[in-house]
């Protein structure tokens, strides 16, 4: 039995432990492309709902000139903030791929985190409250004087419920 | 046939109104004949909806171009396969299809429980009829698919006309998955009506005990399975057709399908606490309510034009109806809850923080937070416009940043939950159950680091995937070992036997394993890369280990479209491997074009080649190639999720108490003397 367990454990270890060998870390080979990186922070405004660098429409009336503009700005040495301002002035706030972390847009970022914190607090509170409640009396084996048939039946039903499926 | 279809729909509406009104009267009077007649009215409603649906399909197959909906979504050359799919390709038809699927569920429920649960069923029937009335109202009076084509004459009077041919089906929808993806997704959306009807019905009826939970478990799982399959099929369709190299763009319509899936998943977990411990009754009822509300909200988002999406139906005024329906449901749910909340008194009592109950609470929290994050992100452009006057868009980068950590937390809990015992987990048990899986996971992480894995989220995901897979593997191993010791059967046969003895628990494990595969696939996205190039004949393009050589270009006329294909030879390490044929389709009836991506898919990576058209500058074919690692794991994982759900739906072969003589030590005896030999450290059931 111990041998079988060891074989199974070693097989599992070998299977999962060597899994990463089959996954080539392509990221290491990928060239850094500044335009791609910055372009990924804006949306294409053609209606495809893709980031600027993700729009795959050939001759897209939006992404093609936007990418040209972006390349030009990067060639001039414009900062990312300046490029953002330029695009927002030209296309409006719908050009953001993610809401800026200022003003009203901050709500989009903060809200899920607040929900997580409040929710976690609530869960902890609920667990603490439930733990304080007295545990229901357990029926002694074989029953005992003072334990009604109904209580015993309830206990049996509970045990059956909790061990079924 | 259009008149027949219209009449069937109208009659279905009348029957649904009777089933609703008569049902309420039956609840008040408890008259057996009235109860029976309203149930039969419910069945008749469904039958009539089936007839209306068949009528519309008949109009498609008979090329009846005097009907506006048929003209807009079909043409003579459209293949039979897509004439079936044309039913749900537009607003009106898809709403009829919604009614059709709802009718399938309703008739199944009415027939399954025709002689059972007499106290509860009239309430359930009324709720189901209420939902049917809403959709039949839309089918009859707001978006009828049987409207005749009419054009104004010289005198200004509308004349009925017939066209020689139709406009054809949108090219994007002419893909095999479009025939199976929407039915799956809609079956998920409509299927959640049944647990909603039972939950609301039980609350209104003050139906005793946990019976409504037992009654709806299978229906919820069926709806959840269809929703899961629908989401993944939609992702695969986007991957293979849209040609942007990805499968999930956090588009509002995609998000809309994810929302009820998240709450439905939370419900499937938390419901176990009510079944086993009588806990969280209020929470479960509201989870079901929210899941149904999110189904309606998702439909509203898809159809109202309130958020922009490439998948949405044309903008229309139908959204107002959905808002009204949402307000009505919320009012009814709140009213029912406030009136009968004392009925939901729970026996909440927790022995230890380290218990299955706690893990379910956290699991629900994470799922709900994910749901809130997706919903708030999806609606943020609308809110920002309301509050600031500027519509601020929210794209994939935001959703990825917010949801990836949440997803990883959930994956962690997927591994932890099944290892914890109900009520209390001892330190000994923690060591025994967590030692190996955690060790294997960390070992995998270390190996990954050594081999240059530097993407932090993917690295954590890998560790967690290995950890969860090990927990599932060990659960099967331990159980099968006990059975093998008793029966002498092979290990595989013992594992199958084990699964069939407790299908719910081990089916759940299979679902968890499927989710692990899906996460493995998602983790690969961090390493995607792509190359785009204008190509002359004989030109080559290098991506990863693959060399793509443009061998030619041809045009292939088909019945409904003309395909312009690029012939691409693929070499690997300079050795010829295969030919790929990405194509662009020009449809005869529409100015829109479609793309067909050529994909060479392996478990390691997908070589994904798109021919989006010719470059406007050089007039040369543009080839866009992507190398997407591990994508196949997502589709494989989806299939495993469906398989696991199907297993969980099967009845147990034998009672689990057969295990009582097993050598496996019991982790936590429940009540000494009552069930001591039975292991209480139950799995995912």
- How far is residue A149 from each of residues A68, B125, B191, measured CA to CA in Å? 83, 37, 41
Q: What is the pLDDT at residue B169? A: 82
**Helix H segments across B62-90?**
68-73, 80-85
Helix (H, G, I), strand (E, B) or coil at B348: coil
Q: Which residues pair with B290 in a beta bridge?
A: none
Burial class (CB in 10 A: 0-12, 13-18, 19+), B308: middle
Taking the alpha carbons at both ends of chain A, their separation in whole angstroms is 27
Contact B213, B284 (CB under 8 A): yes
Say yes or no for a CB contact (<8 Å) between A93 and B454: no
Judge whether residue B398 has pLDDT over 80: yes
In the predicted model, what is the mean pLDDT of residues B21-43?
92
Quick check: A33 pLDDT over 70?
Answer: no
Q: Is the pLDDT of residue A47 over 50?
A: yes
Nearest residue on chain A to B273, judged by CA atoms? A162
Within 10 angstroms of residue B53's Cβ, the number of other Cβ atoms is 22
What's residue B595's pLDDT? Answer: 82
What mean pLDDT do residues B487-497 have? 90
Cβ count within 10 A of residue B57:
17
From chain B, the residues in CB contact with A155 under 8 A are 671, 674
Total domains in the fold of chain A: 3
Chain B contact present for A102, CB below 8 A: no
Size of interface A-B (CB pairs under 8 A): 255
Answer whether residue B225 shows pLDDT above 50. Answer: yes
Record: contact B246-A54, CB cut-off 8 A: yes
Give the pLDDT of residue B666: 40
Contact call for residues B635 and B240 (beta carbons, < 8 A): no
Shared-domain flag, residues A72 and A51: yes
Q: What is the pLDDT of residue A35?
A: 81
Contact criterion met (CB < 8 Å) for B682 and A47: no
Q: Chain B within 8 Å of A2 (Cβ-Cβ)?
A: no
pLDDT at A3: 56
CB of B218 closer than 8 Å to CB of B278:
no
User: Which DSSP category does B70 fall into?
Assistant: H
Q: Which of B17-21, B142-146, B163-167, B463-467 has the lowest mean pLDDT?
A: B163-167
Query: According to the model, what pLDDT value does residue A148 have?
Result: 63
Identify the band that residue B226 occupies on the pLDDT scale cut at 50, 70 and 90.
very high
Which of A41, A93, A116 is nearest residue B397 as measured by Cβ atoms?
A41
Maximum Cα interatomic distance, chain B, rounded to a whole number of Å: 91
Average pLDDT over residues B200-204: 92
Establish if A28 touches chain B: CB-CB under 8 angstroms. yes
Helix pair B91-112, B177-191: axis angle to 10 deg: 50
Residue B275: band (very low, low, confident or very high) from pLDDT cuts 50, 70, 90: confident
How many helices and strands (H and E) does chain A possess?
6, 0
Cβ of residue A85 closer than 8 Å to a chain B Cβ: no
Q: What percent of chain A has pLDDT over 90?
A: 12
Q: What is the pLDDT of residue A135?
A: 59
In a domain, A50, yes or no: yes
Would the CB atoms of A17 and B244 count as touching at under 8 Å?
A: no
More confident residue, B328 or B319: B328
What domain range includes position A125? 107-133
Question: CB–CB of A39/A52 below 8 Å?
Answer: yes
Q: Once rounded to an integer, what is the mean pLDDT over residues B554-572?
A: 88
Residue in the block written with tokens 């949402």: B326
**pLDDT for the residue numbered B24:** 94
Note the pLDDT of residue B604.
92
CB-facing half-sphere around the CA of B315: CA atoms within 13 A: 5
Number of CB atoms found within 10 A of residue B179's CB: 16
CB contact under 8 Å between B462 and A20, yes or no, is yes
Closest CA relative to residue B299, chosen from B154, B449, B88: B88
Mean pLDDT in residue range B280-305: 90
**Distance, C-alpha B59 to centroid of its chain:** 30
Q: What is the mean pLDDT of chain A?
A: 73
pLDDT above 80 (res A23): no
Q: Of A26, A28, A126, which has the smallest distance from its Cβ to B544's Cβ? A: A26
Nearest CA-CA partner of B20 in B394, B449, B388, B332: B332
Task: State whether A127 and A142 are in the same domain.
Answer: no
Say if B160 is an interface residue toward chain A (CB within 8 Å): no
Q: Is the pLDDT reported for residue B662 higher than 70?
A: no
Query: Which of B369, B469, B675 is facing A116, going by the closest CB pair?
Result: B369
Angstrom distance (rounded) from CA B41 to CA B19: 5
pLDDT of residue A152: 63
- Surface of B (456-515) touching A: CB under 8 A: 462, 466, 469-470, 473-474, 477, 481, 502, 504-505
Q: How many residues does chain B have?
A: 685
- State ipTM: 0.79
pLDDT band with cut points at 50, 70 and 90 for residue B213: confident
- pTM of the model as a whole: 0.86
What is the four-CA torsion angle of B262, B264, B268, B271, rounded to 10 degrees?
110
Residue A10 pLDDT > 70 = no
B275 near A CB under 8 A = yes
**What percent of chain B clears pLDDT 70, i.e. is strictly above it?**
91
**Taking the CB of residue B648, how many other CB atoms lie within 10 A of it?**
26
Q: How confident is the model at residue A48 (pLDDT cuts 50, 70, 90)?
A: confident
Phi and psi at B402, nearest 5°, equal: -80, -40
pLDDT for position A128:
85
For B506-535, what is each residue's pLDDT tens digit? Answer: 999 999 999 999 999 999 998 988 888 889
Do A147 and A112 share a structural domain? Answer: no
For the stretch B114-126, pLDDT in tens is 888 878 899 999 9
**Residues A89, A144: one domain?**
no
Q: What is the mean predicted confidence (pLDDT) over B70-75? A: 88
Task: Report B:610-639 residues touching A (Cβ under 8 A).
Answer: 610, 612-616, 622, 624, 627, 629-630
pLDDT in tens, A54-95: 887 767 788 888 888 888 888 888 888 899 999 999 988 889
CATH classification of the domain holding A40:
1.10.8.640
Cα separation of B243 and B457, whole Å?
A: 26
Asked if A20 lies within 8 A of B444 by C-beta distance, the reply is yes
Identify the residue among B350, B467, B525 best suited for mutation to test binding to A, counting A beta carbons within 10 A and taking the highest.
B350
The C-alpha R_g of chain A, in whole angstroms, comes to: 31
Chain B segment 544-583 residues within 8 A of A by beta carbon are 544
pLDDT of residue B207: 83
For the cut 90, the answer to whether the pLDDT of residue A156 exceeds it is no
CA-based torsion, B549, B553, B556, B562: positive or negative? positive
Q: Which of B172, B404, B296 is nearest to A48 (CA)?
A: B172
CB spacing of A56 vs B373 below 8 angstroms: no
B673 pLDDT band (50/70/90 cuts)?
very low
Lowest-pLDDT range, A109-113, A135-139, B239-243, B495-499?
A: A135-139
* Cβ separation A105–B369 shorter than 8 A: no
For an interface test with B, give the residue of A10, A15, A16, A132 to mutate (most B CBs within 10 A): A16
Number of Cβ within a 10 Å radius of residue B112: 13
DSSP B360: H
Distance separating the N- and C-terminal Cα atoms of chain B: 49
Mean pLDDT for the stretch of residues B614-628: 87
Lowest-pLDDT choice from B392-396, B403-407, B541-545: B392-396
Q: Cα–chain-centroid distance for residue B210?
A: 26
A117 touches chain B (CB under 8 A): no
H/E element, B551:
strand B546-557
Mean of pLDDT values over B274-289: 88
pLDDT mean over B407-419: 90
**A75: buried, middle or exposed (CB in 10 Å: 19+, 13-18, 0-12)?**
exposed
Inform me whether the pLDDT recorded for B242 exceeds 90: no
Q: Is A65 on the interface with B (CB under 8 A)?
A: no
**What does the pLDDT average to over B359-380?**
93
Query: Is A109 in a helix, a strand, or coil?
Result: helix
Please check whether residues A41 and A90 belong to one and the same domain: yes
| Token output for B411 | 């994956």
Strands B561-572 and B583-587: antiparallel
Given a cut of 80, whether residue B421 has pLDDT beyond it is: yes
Q: How far is A30 from chain B (nearest CA, A)?
A: 7
User: For chain B, what is the mean pLDDT?
Assistant: 87
Is the pLDDT confidence value at B659 over 50? no
Are residues B96 and B143 in contact, defined by beta-carbon separation less than 8 angstroms? no
| A150/chain B closest Cα distance in angstroms | 15
Which of B211, B281, B461, B671 should be substituted to probe chain A, the one whose Cβ sees the most A Cβ atoms within 10 Å?
Answer: B671
A81 in B contact zone (CB under 8 Å) = no
Say if A156 falls within a structural domain: yes
Q: By C-alpha distance, which of A115, A122, A49 is closest to B371?
A: A115
The nearest CA of chain A is from the CA of B203 a distance in Å of: 22
Of chain B, the percentage scoring pLDDT greater than 90 comes to 52
The Cα–Cα gap between B477 and B465 comes to: 18
* Helices A80-91 + A63-76 axis angle, to 10: 150
In this prediction, residue B176 has a pLDDT band, given cuts at 50, 70 and 90, of confident
Buried b (16+ CB within 10 A) or exposed e, B491-526: eeebbbbbbbbbbbbbbbbbbbbbbbbbbbbbbbbb
Residues B380 and B307: their CA atoms lie apart, in Å, by: 10
Phi, psi of A153 (to 5 degrees): -65, -40
Q: According to the model, what pLDDT value does residue B605 have? A: 94
Helices (H), B341-450: 356-388, 396-416, 427-450
B575 burial (CB, 10 Å; 0-12 / 13-18 / 19+) is exposed
Closest-CA residue in chain A for B242?
A56
A92 within domain boundaries = yes
Q: What is the DSSP letter of B89?
A: S
Asked if B608 and B582 touch (Cβ cutoff 8 Å), the reply is no
Residue A159: inside a domain, yes or no? Answer: yes
Q: What is the pLDDT of residue A134?
A: 66
CB B257 within 8 A of CB B185: yes
Query: Looking at residue B443, what is its pLDDT?
Result: 94
* Domains of chain B, residue spans: 1-167, 175-410, 411-526+633-661, 528-630
Name the pLDDT band for B289 (thresholds 50, 70, 90). very high
A16 Cα to chain B: minimum distance (Å)? 6
Interface test with B, best of A7, A22, A27 (most B CBs within 10 A): A27
One DSSP character per residue, B138-201 reads IIIIIS-TTPBPEEE-TTS-EEE---SS-----GGG-STHHHHHHHHHHHHHHHTHHHHHHHHH
């Amino acid at each position: 039995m111990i041998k079988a367990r060891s074989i199974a454990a070693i097989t599992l270890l070998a299977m999962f432990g060597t899994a990463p060998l089959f996954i080539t870390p392509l990221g290491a080979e990928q060239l850094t492309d500044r335009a791609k990186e910055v372009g990924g922070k804006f949306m294409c405004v053609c209606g495809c709902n893709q980031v600027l660098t993700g729009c795959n429409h050939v001759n897209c009336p939006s992404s093609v000139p936007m990418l040209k503009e972006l390349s030009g700005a990067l060639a001039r040495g414009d900062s990312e903030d300046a490029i953002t301002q330029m695009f927002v002035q030209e296309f409006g706030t719908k050009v953001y791929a993610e809401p800026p972390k200022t003003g009203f847009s901050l709500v989009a970022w903060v809200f899920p985190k607040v929900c997580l914190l409040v929710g976690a607090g609530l869960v902890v509170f609920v667990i603490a409250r439930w733990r304080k409640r007295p545990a229901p009396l357990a029926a002694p084996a074989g029953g005992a004087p003072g334990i009604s048939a109904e209580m015993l039946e309830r206990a049996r039903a509970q045990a059956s419920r909790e061990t079924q499926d | 046939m259009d008149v027949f279809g219209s009449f069937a729909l109208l009659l279905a509406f009348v029957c649904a109104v009777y089933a609703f009104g008569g049902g309420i009267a039956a609840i008040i009077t408890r008259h057996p004949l009235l109860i029976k007649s309203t149930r039969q009215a419910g069945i008749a409603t469904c039958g009539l909806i089936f007839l209306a649906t068949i009528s519309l399909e008949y109009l498609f197959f008979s090329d009846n171009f005097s009907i506006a909906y048929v003209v807009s979504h079909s043409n003579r050359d459209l293949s039979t396969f897509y004439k079936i799919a044309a039913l749900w390709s537009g607003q009106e038809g898809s709403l009829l299809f919604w009614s059709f699927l709802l009718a399938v569920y309703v008739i199944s429920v009415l027939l399954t429980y025709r002689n059972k649960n007499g106290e509860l069923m009239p309430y359930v029937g009324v709720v189901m009829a209420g939902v049917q009335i809403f959709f039949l109202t839309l089918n009859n009076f707001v978006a009828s698919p049987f409207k005749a084509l009419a054009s104004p004459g010289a005198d200004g009077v509308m004349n009925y006309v017939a066209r020689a041919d139709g406009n054809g089906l949108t090219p994007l929808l002419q893909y095999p998955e479009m025939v199976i993806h929407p039915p799956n997704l809609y079956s998920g959306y409509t299927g959640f009506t049944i647990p909603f009807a039972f939950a609301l019905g039980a609350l209104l009826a003050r139906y005793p005990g946990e019976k409504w939970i037992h009654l709806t478990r299978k229906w919820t799982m069926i709806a959840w399975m269809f929703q899961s399959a629908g989401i993944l099929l939609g992702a695969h369709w986007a991957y293979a057709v849209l040609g942007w190299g990805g499968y999930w763009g956090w588009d509002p319509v995609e998000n809309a399908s994810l929302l009820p899936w998240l709450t439905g998943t939370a419900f499937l977990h938390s419901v176990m606490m009510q079944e086993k411990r009588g806990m969280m009754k209020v929470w479960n009822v509201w989870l079901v309510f929210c899941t149904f509300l999110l189904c309606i909200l998702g439909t509203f988002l898809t159809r109202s034009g309130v958020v922009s999406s490439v998948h949405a139906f044309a903008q229309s005024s139908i959204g107002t109806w959905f808002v009204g329906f949402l307000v009505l449901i919320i009012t009814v749910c709140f009213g029912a809850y406030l009136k009968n909340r004392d009925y939901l008194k729970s026996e909440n009592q927790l022995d230890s923080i380290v218990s299955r109950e706690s893990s379910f609470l956290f699991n629900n929290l994470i799922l709900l937070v994910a749901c809130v994050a997706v919903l708030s992100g999806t609606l943020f452009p609308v809110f920002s416009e309301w509050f600031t006057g500027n519509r601020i868009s929210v794209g994939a980068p935001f959703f990825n940043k917010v949801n990836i950590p949440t997803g990883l937390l959930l994956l962690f809990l997927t591994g932890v939950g099944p290892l914890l015992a109900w009520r209390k987990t001892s330190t000994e048990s923690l060591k025994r159950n967590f030692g190996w899986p955690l060790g294997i996971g960390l070992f995998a992480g270390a190996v990954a680091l050594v081999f240059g894995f530097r993407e932090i989220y993917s690295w954590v995901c890998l560790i967690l995937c290995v950890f969860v897979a090990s927990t599932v593997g060990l659960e099967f191993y331990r159980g099968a070992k006990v059975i093998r010791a008793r029966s002498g059967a092979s290990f595989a046969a013992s594992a199958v036997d084990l699964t069939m003895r407790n299908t719910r628990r081990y089916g759940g494990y299979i679902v968890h394993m499927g989710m692990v595969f899906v996460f493995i696939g998602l983790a690969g996205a961090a390493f995607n890369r792509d190359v785009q190039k204008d190509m002359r004949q004989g030109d080559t393009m290098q991506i990863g280990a693959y060399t793509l050589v443009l061998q030619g270009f041809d045009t292939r006329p088909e019945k409904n479209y003309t395909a312009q294909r690029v012939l691409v030879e693929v070499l690997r390490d300079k050795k010829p491997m295969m030919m790929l044929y990405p194509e662009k389709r020009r449809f005869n009836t529409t100015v829109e074009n479609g793309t067909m991506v050529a994909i060479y898919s392996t478990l390691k990576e997908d070589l994904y080649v798109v021919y989006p058209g010719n470059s406007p500058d050089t007039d040369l074919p543009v080839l866009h190639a992507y190398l997407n690692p591990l994508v196949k794991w997502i589709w494989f994982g989806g299939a495993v999720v469906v398989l696991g759900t199907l297993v969980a739906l099967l009845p147990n072969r034998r009672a689990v108490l057969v295990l009582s003589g097993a050598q496996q030590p019991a982790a936590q005896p429940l009540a000494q003397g009552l069930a001591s030999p039975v292991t209480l450290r139950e799995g995912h059931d």
